[in-house]
Amino acid sequence: MAYKRIFGIVLDSIGTGEAQDAAKFDDVGSDTLGHIGEYFNGDLKLPNLQKLGLSNQRKTAIKGVPKADQPIGYYGNMQEVSVGKDSMDGHWEMMQLPVKTELSFFPHGFPADLLDKIAKFSGRKIIGNRPESGTKIIAELGEQQMKTGDLIIYTSGDSVLQIAAHEDVIPVDELYRICEYARSLVNGPEYTVGRIIARPYVGPDKDHFTRTANRHDFTLKPTGKTTLNYLQDNGVTTIGIGKINDIFSGEGIDQGYHNESNMDGMDHLDHVMQKDFTGFCFTNLVDFDAMYGHRRNIKGDGQALMDFDHRLGHVLAQMHEDDLLIITADHGNDPSYRGTDHTRELVPLLVYSPSMKNPGSLGTRSTFSDFGATVAENFKTNTNNWGTSFLNQLK
Ligand SMILES: O=P(O)(O)O[C@H]1O[C@H](CO)[C@@H](O)[C@H]1O
Ligand SMILES: [Mn+2]
Ligand SMILES: [Mn+2]
């Protein structure tokens, strides 16, 4: 059947076990969901995700989340083919634009020629310049920044250039201008950086700094058309909730909503679900990743999953017969793993409509693009022919 509205939800960084190519990323043994379940030792309660079949495609069920005897939706998982394991790679691939060319990574910090230009443009000195956790680097250098007005620039295992700035010292508008300038320097061919990320924070001293929702990602412009463009070109409504608009540089998105938090994102989703439209609503919930995964906070990650599951119950109850829900993730970020980076994992795939009569497994999909291919086929748009639609399997 053709669905009138498709709701995609990305649980940012909620992977479901090491990918086949995990060794290439030094991520063997990572399993975000599995390890959160073990930590909670039976107390991770996700009744709605459970009945959608969250554990069903796994070799071993997540502790506390048994395999459903009769899942109410189709379940499976997806492998990533993109060269990186960042949000941009994951989301672009979902929308049928896998990232196949190597981006620039800076494990030893950024080159002087690049930093000199940013220093000259901003009139500020640059400190940091190494891969580091964002909360650690502001604890270390934030007080210095408050005195000197220097820019804190850092990276990670991803192709990112992040600029942290205290909101009272470097106003958010100024920080965004500096980020936009930095963006213009790294669109290739010499340096091709996935994202410039503005990281504003507030607080009186190193023990009380907190990062604010004014975070903004300046992503590389998609290097080709995505499913979102094809939908938009065909007059199908496209709505982005949370980081989606940033990740696609607004390309192919009719309406965007900025999230303050996961729960704020779910409020936006509830709001959109009240609307009558024909199209695709794509939601990203980033707290799992930014607040817990990178912070290696297992307890927080599990609690955020339970909070999401609670809100998911309401989403399921509001769905119409001709609505389709697709829940997945963009990469892993195992909070029990070494370091503070993303982990190369399979991602869950849960697909539900109240109209489904006899759901079962969708297997392990060989690319995240099967998601976009399904959306495109549903709305009968052209595509760039990457990925295999599972629309006809849904009954
Ligand atoms: O440690 P923080 O600042 O949260 O940064 C993390 O967030 C970035 C984007 O998800 C990742 O590349 C990683 O560096
Ligand atoms: Mn992500
Ligand atoms: Mn991340």
Q: How far apart are CA 243 and CA 87, in angstroms?
A: 10
Distance from residue 290's CA to the centre of ligand 1 (Å) = 7
Q: CB of 179 within 8 A of CB of 198?
A: yes
Banded pLDDT at 137 (limits 50, 70, 90)? very high
* Distance from residue 242's CA to the centre of ligand 3 (Å): 14
Backbone angles phi and psi of 251, in degrees to 5: -70, 125
Q: Is the pLDDT of residue 152 over 90?
A: yes
Closest residue by Cα to residue 96 from 379, 382, 370, 390: 370
Residue 217, pLDDT > 90, answer yes
Å from CA of 289 to ligand 3 middle = 5
Q: Indicate whether 27 pLDDT > 90.
A: yes
User: CA-CA-CA-CA torsion for 266, 269, 271, 277, nearest 10 degrees?
Assistant: -170
In this predicted model, what pLDDT tens digit does every residue of 181-216 receive, in sequence order? 999 999 999 999 999 999 999 999 999 999 999 999
With a Cβ cut-off of 6 Å, ligand 1 is lined by: 87, 133-134, 156, 158, 160, 162, 199, 289-290, 294, 340
ipTM of this complex: 0.96
Average pLDDT of span 349-369: 97
Average of per-residue pLDDT across 228-254? 97
Q: What is the mean pLDDT of residues 361-376?
A: 98
Note if the pTM is more than 0.90. Answer: yes
CB atoms within 10 A of CB 43: 11
Query: Is 166 marked within a binding site?
Result: no
Q: What is the pLDDT at residue 1?
A: 80
On the question of a cis peptide bond just before residue 98, with omega within 30 degrees of 0, the verdict is no
Whose C-alpha lies nearest to ligand 1, atom 13? 156
- Ligand 2 centroid vs 293 CA: distance in angstroms? 10
Query: Residue 157: is its pLDDT beyond 90?
Result: yes
CA distances from 109 to 50, 54, 106, 216, 234 (A): 43, 39, 5, 21, 43
What does the pLDDT average to over 256-274? 98
Burial class (CB in 10 A: 0-12, 13-18, 19+), 29: middle
Over residues 55-112, the pLDDT tens digits come to 999 999 999 999 999 999 999 999 999 999 999 999 999 999 999 988 999 999 999 9
Rounded distance from Cα 87 to ligand 2 centre (Å) = 4
Predicted confidence band at 221 (pLDDT cuts at 50, 70, 90)?
Answer: very high
Residue 65 parent element (H or E): none
Q: Does the annotation flag 330 for ligand binding?
A: yes
Amino acid in position 296: R
Q: Return the percent helix, strand and coil in the chain, to nearest 5.
A: 35, 20, 45
Q: Which domains are assigned to the chain? A: 5-100+221-393 (3.40.720.10), 112-219 (3.30.70.1250)
Atom 5 (ligand 1) nearest CA: 134
Average pLDDT for the chain: 97
Minimum-distance ligand 1 atom for the alpha carbon of 289: 10
Residue 173 has pLDDT above 90, yes or no: yes
- CA gap 372, 133 in Å, rounded: 32
| Confidence check: pLDDT of 295 > 90 | yes
Most distant CA atoms of the chain, gap in Å: 64
Query: Average pLDDT in the 252-266 region?
Result: 98
pLDDT at 102: 86
CA-closest residue to ligand 1 atom 14:
156
Answer yes or no: is 331 a known binding residue: yes
Q: Which ligand minimizes its atom distance to the CA of 215?
A: 1
- C-alpha 173 chain-centroid distance: 24
Q: What average pLDDT does the segment 364-385 reach? A: 97
Instruction: List CB contacts of 261: < 8 A, sequence separation 6 or more.
Output: 213, 287
The number of the ligand nearest the C-alpha atom of 163 reads 1
